[in-house]
């Protein structure tokens, strides 16, 4: 019985081209109390592999977080399977604003300690005791009130290319970093202010809403479905769009345009740009923003040093990488000190 992906990304890409089917990129999450994550993980893999589902899925005692690509002809069968699982029955699916048949090239389902790392070790914290969900119209109305604070629960490299007007955008590298900072900064508003949180698809702000309720905040809200669902509702209901720029996404596309505004700049020359790339030097792989001019100048690398390595024969590059692993700077997402135009914390 196959329980793991056996095809390379290149082999899968060729099969997608050969099949000629449209695919749907979507995501969903559900916080729930799961007794045996490994058993659920294996069940999901067996069921989804035969449907041609690809993606990155995490299963933990606290729930499921899934980012997927599903063949359009198999969507009904996929939804039927979700509905056969009690806590996933009727789950909201966030359909991507921009579709790409190759957004995912492998099916990876992993058991994790948590579906969203939060750094908490508090047995009294119930992640299912969440804040009030609001839709796009309700979010717009709430965010326009004087007694409302809008908080971006994403990381700095995400909010750098797009965020809601007037939102607090914590200068953090991880979700776990943001929780204590926001709690401390807003501690005097536990009774009087509306806290309205948002993230990409809802999973981080839902945990954050439960956390801030746990910490005594009385008026806690979250944007249901996150930026992805907000953009869909704004378009379908012809609402005012209060999101400026792009929404960062965690697949091969890297972002979706929500408005035409470019609010970020190239990390190398400072020109207006909001295109993230990974350094072409596999030993570096740093995520940063690079304009077309710098991409040509540096051969899609973050520095001259990396460009010199990329110019070497592939065999020599592999030999240089052998036994080495990418340093933690890859997770700094553009904070590397050799990038001229970014803030270093």
Q: pLDDT tens across 188-235, in order?
A: 999 999 999 999 988 899 999 999 999 999 999 999 999 989 999 999
- Domain residue spans of the chain: 9-111, 132-237, 264-345
pLDDT of residue 344: 44
Q: Does domain 9-111 have CATH number 3.50.50.60?
A: no
Please tell me the predicted confidence (pLDDT) of residue 10: 78
Q: Among all residues, which ones are annotated catalytic? A: 199
Interatomic CA distance for residues 116 and 292, integer angstroms: 34
- Apex CA 44: angle with CA 22 and CA 124, to 5°? 120
Q: Are strands 54-60 and 148-152 parallel, antiparallel or unpaired?
A: unpaired
CB proximity list for 313: less than 8 A, separation 6 or greater: none
What pLDDT sits at residue 341? 62
Q: For residue 18, give Cα distances in angstroms to 21, 83, 102, 268, 340.
A: 8, 30, 13, 39, 44
Q: What is the model's pLDDT at position 197?
A: 96
pLDDT at 279: 92
Phi, psi of 67 (to 5 degrees): -125, 120
Question: What's the whole-model pTM score?
Answer: 0.77
Superfamily of chain region 132-237: Rhodanese-like domain (3.40.250.10)
Residue numbers in the chain where pLDDT is lower than 50: 328, 331, 344-345
Residue 335 confidence (pLDDT): 64
Distances (CA, A) of 264 to 66, 95, 101, 245, 334: 28, 25, 27, 9, 12
């Amino acid at each position: 019985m196959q329980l793991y992906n056996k095809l390379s990304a290149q082999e899968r890409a060729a099969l997608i081209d050969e099949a000629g089917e449209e695919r749907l990129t979507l995501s969903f999450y559900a916080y729930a109390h799961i007794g045996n994550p490994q058993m659920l993980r294996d069940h999901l893999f067996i069921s989804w592999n035969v449907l041609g589902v690809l993606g990155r899925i995490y299963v933990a005692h606290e729930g499921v977080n899934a980012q997927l690509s599903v063949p359009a002809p198999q969507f009904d069968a996929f939804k039927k399977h979700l509905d056969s699982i009690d806590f996933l029955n009727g789950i909201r699916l966030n359909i991507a604003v921009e579709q790409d048949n190759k957004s995912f090239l492998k099916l990876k389902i992993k058991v994790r300690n948590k579906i969203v790392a939060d750094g908490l070790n508090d047995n009294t914290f119930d992640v299912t005791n969440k804040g009030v969900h609001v839709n796009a119209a309700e979010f717009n109305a709430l965010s326009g009130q004087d007694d409302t604070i809008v908080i971006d629960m994403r990381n700095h490299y995400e909010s750098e290319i797009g965020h809601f007007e007037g939102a607090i955008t914590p200068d953090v590298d991880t979700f776990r970093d943001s929780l204590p900072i926001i709690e401390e900064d807003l501690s005097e508003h536990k009774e009087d202010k509306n806290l309205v949180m948002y993230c990409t698809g809802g999973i981080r702000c839902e945990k954050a809403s439960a956390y801030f309720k746990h910490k005594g905040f009385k008026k806690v809200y979250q944007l249901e479905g996150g930026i992805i669902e907000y953009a869909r509702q704004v378009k379908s209901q012809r609402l005012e769009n209060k999101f400026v720029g792009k929404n960062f996404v965690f697949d091969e596309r890297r972002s979706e345009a929500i408005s035409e505004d470019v609010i970020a700049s190239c990390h190398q020359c400072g020109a207006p740009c909001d295109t993230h790339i990974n350094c072409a030097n596999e030993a570096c792989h740093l995520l940063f923003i690079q304009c077309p001019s710098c991409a040509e100048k540096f051969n899609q690398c973050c520095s001259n040093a990396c460009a010199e390595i990329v110019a070497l024969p592939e065999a020599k590059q592999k030999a240089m990488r052998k036994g080495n692993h990418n340093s933690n700077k890859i997770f700094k997402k553009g904070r590397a000190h050799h990038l001229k135009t970014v803030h270093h914390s």
